[in-house]
Amino acid sequence: MIHVPHRDPFTVFGLPRSLDLDERTVEARYLRLSRECHPDLHQGKATGDCIAVLQRSAEVNDAWKVLRDPWQRAKALLELLSPGALERNKKLDPGFLAEALELAEEVSFAAGAQIAPLRARLQATIDADFEALRADLARGAFDAAARRFHASHYHKKALADLDAKS
């Protein structure tokens, strides 16, 4: 099995390290890069060249998985700007965890007419999480951004659980 080292996805795509990337630009870069390293275009080349093409293809695909999703992009950006921040900030405030537990219970008991407003509230909370994470990154508050990233998992999980009910 070929080991492909994880590279900075922004560098792989030749894009600035930014949370705010135009989705069409990211997709266009992906399509161009994936065409350039498509194995069919490199048939008949030496084995070493084929391995390099496959490695480049894997690198492009890995970068695409990160850059196309704003949350994964935020995670990558955070780790690039402050290596280890996510690991250092895994432990969340007990008060927040108690609120997250109450939210999970609310989701589990939600039914009928309660679902739509709860879904809207959860989506608004997730959107607010992302905007706060954006602000944390902009001001260099990397530990706060990491905690916000981890906390958002609870809100996204609650929304996923709610959506699974319908």
Q: What is the 3-state secondary structure (H, E, C) of 17-72?
A: CCCCCCHHHHHHHHHHHHHHCCHHHHCCCCHHHHHHHHHHHHHHHHHHHHHCCHHH
Q: Are 133 and 145 in contact (CB under 8 A)?
A: yes
pTM: 0.84
The size of the chain, in residues, is 166
What pLDDT, on the 0 to 100 scale, is given for residue 58?
86
- The domain limits of the chain are 9-68, 81-165
Give residue 79's region: left, alpha or beta (phi > 0; psi -120 to 50): alpha
In tens digits, the chain (166 residues) has pLDDT values of 343 446 899 999 999 999 999 999 999 999 999 888 766 654 555 545 567 777 888 899 999 999 999 999 999 999 999 999 999 999 999 999 999 999 999 999 999 999 999 999 999 999 999 999 999 999 999 999 999 999 999 999 999 999 998 7
Write out the two tokens for 26. Answer: 């990211």
pLDDT at 69: 95
Class of domain 9-68: mainly alpha
Instruction: Give the CATH number of domain 81-165; options: 1.20.1280, 2.60.120, 1.10.30, 1.10.3470.
Output: 1.20.1280
| Two tokens, residue 46 | 């030496």
Surface-to-core class of residue 155, CB atoms within 10 Å of its CB (0-12 exposed, 13-18 middle, 19+ buried): buried
